Amino acid sequence: MAYAITQSCCNDASCVSVCPVDCIHPTPDEPDFGTTDILYVDPKVCIDCGACADACPVSAIKPVDVLRGGEEVFAQLNAEFYAERPTRVAPATHTWEEMGAVVDRPLRVAVVGTGPAASYAARHLLLSTDARVTMLDKSPVPGGLVRGGVAPDHAETKAFANLFDWAYRHPRTSMYMNVEVGADVTHEELLQYHDAVIYGVGARLDRALGVPGEDLPGVFGAPDVVGWYNAAIDVPAESIRLGGERMVVVGNGNVALDVARIVLSEPASLRRTDMADHAIDEVERSAIREVVLLGRRGPEVAAFTRPELLMMPEGIDVVVARDEAAEAALDVAEPGSKAALLAALPRAEVDLTVAPPEGKRLVFAFGAQIVSVEGGDAVEAVQIAPTGRPDEAVKVPVGTVVRSTGHRGRPVAGLPFDDVTATVPNVDGRVIDPATGDPIPGAYVTGWIKRGATGGIGTNRTCAHETVSTVLQDAADGALRMPGGSRRGFGKLLRRRVPSLVNRRRMFAIESAERARGASAGRPRVKFASSAQMLDAARR
């Protein structure tokens, strides 16, 4: 019986590396890699060896005969992917795994961040070279997007963090947490103690709508909402309040679906996850029973992935608001497309000018946009109009508005920044001075700050591989300056600068304390929601 890849696929291609018959695609060598929702197993080629399942960091690969419930559809989806795909000749090796240049001395590399992009970079360095790695993060605990960006009910995806535990514990790794690069230590100082610095700092900001009233209380950016229910230390517990009976989320990507699902879920089910207690309490107090996902364009360009939609819990009605243009697109949807998935949903006459009906409902509304937000001390309504026709706006009662229109990177201290792309200018991860086009020696980027906020967690594996290969090539070419300071000296510098420095032992003490809190409550963990709580646990 063949294996199938299911909804929690992270796309990091670990399974591709171990498959002996080349039956998992797209591979990082192929042009469609990163464009599909998940990777797929070819059931006609699979020999049922199980190597891919053992290698998968999120347990997304399962034998077809054990799939149950909502996962059964993935057996069909895996097979359909190969229905019209040309026959392949298995390559002897995958070129994307080749690290490239060999360096004649051990490098010292600082990696800023501990999210997937940064951690993959550290992992590549430790596995493929004899480099010594220094990891720094402004948070007292590691994880980045896995800890703070993955929805609490995505338990298998959250287990992805275990992949990097090895790198954090490696004897050639030094961990310095609760350190803000740019404030506690500068880029130039990092280079005094390291051959190179790789920034994997993500893209924390959201994109404003640019409409009147957007700054009213009750209007939030999705990164803040996601951080709030994931107990991010930079989002105070009281900063998000869920008002009204209707929430409007601008956008229809995976994050928009995550927010909608969390808000509409039963609190009892959320209390079995690692969701922040303050957020669960707020969901329980909330009167929201309808979430509207507002898309400027039609269903044919909806941004969510198929697995995400399949996660919607029972008891929530999921409908598409009737609209002439949207329905025309649904009626001619190509099989297997996002529009075809939406075409299978019920269509409903949705009157947003009145209170929501009884029960819980998720509404996909296409071809519409918010033109203004209204209210006094907080948002009370939004004006929604057909896209491009603001004079046809109608007033929609709403108590909460969330912008889920994409992420933006923020400037990195000491490096150039492109405001248009919200990235650090680079070529293959090598930071470039935009004024001269010349490389900035020793400076590199990976992840969203490198390529923009595109691609899921696993996409960072190939991204980090490219950056590390660039670092090694530059080292081999003599383009890196040898640091003057020592590893011990760098540790002393940080201990002087950061009184509340969290080392590896204290970092794992915080992790252990959270898991212990969770074990007593029958949950994966109960997170600390502030730096003060984390530091107290670290000391104890």
Does the annotation flag 455 for ligand binding?
yes
- Collect all residues with Cβ–Cβ distance below 8 Å to 473 and sequence separation of at least 6: 100, 101
> Counting beta carbons within 10 angstroms of the beta carbon of residue 50, is it exposed (0 to 12), middle (13 to 18) or buried (19 or more)?
middle
Q: CA-to-CA distance for 48 and 194, rounded, in angstroms? A: 46
The H-assigned helical ranges of 154-305 are 155-158, 165-169, 187-193, 222-229, 254-264, 267-270, 277-285
Does the annotation flag 117 for ligand binding?
yes
Phi then psi for residue 413, to 5 deg, are -55, 125
Does the annotation flag 296 for ligand binding?
yes
Tokens found for residue 95: 């070129």
Tokens found for residue 313: 């819990």
Does the annotation flag 456 for ligand binding?
yes
Q: CA-to-CA distance for 381 and 398, rounded, in angstroms? A: 5
Does the annotation flag 487 for ligand binding?
no
In contact, 64 and 43? CB cutoff 8 Å:
yes
Q: CA-to-CA distance for 379 and 308, rounded, in angstroms? A: 29
Tokens found for residue 169: 């514990």
Residue in this structure with the two tokens 């980027």, named with its chain if needed: 445
Cα distances (Å, whole numbers) of residue 219 to 73, 148, 375, 380, 382: 37, 20, 11, 10, 11
3-class SS at 512? Answer: helix
Q: How many alpha carbons lie under 13 Å from residue 291 in its C-beta half-sphere?
A: 25
Does the annotation flag 457 for ligand binding?
yes
Does the annotation flag 78 for ligand binding?
no
Q: CA-to-CA distance for 401 and 219, rounded, in angstroms? A: 5
Tokens found for residue 521: 């409550």
Task: List the binding residues for NADP(+).
Answer: 252-255, 296-297, 308, 455
Task: List the binding residues for FAD.
Answer: 117, 145, 181, 448, 455-457
Task: List the binding residues.
Answer: 117, 145, 181, 252-255, 296-297, 308, 448, 455-457
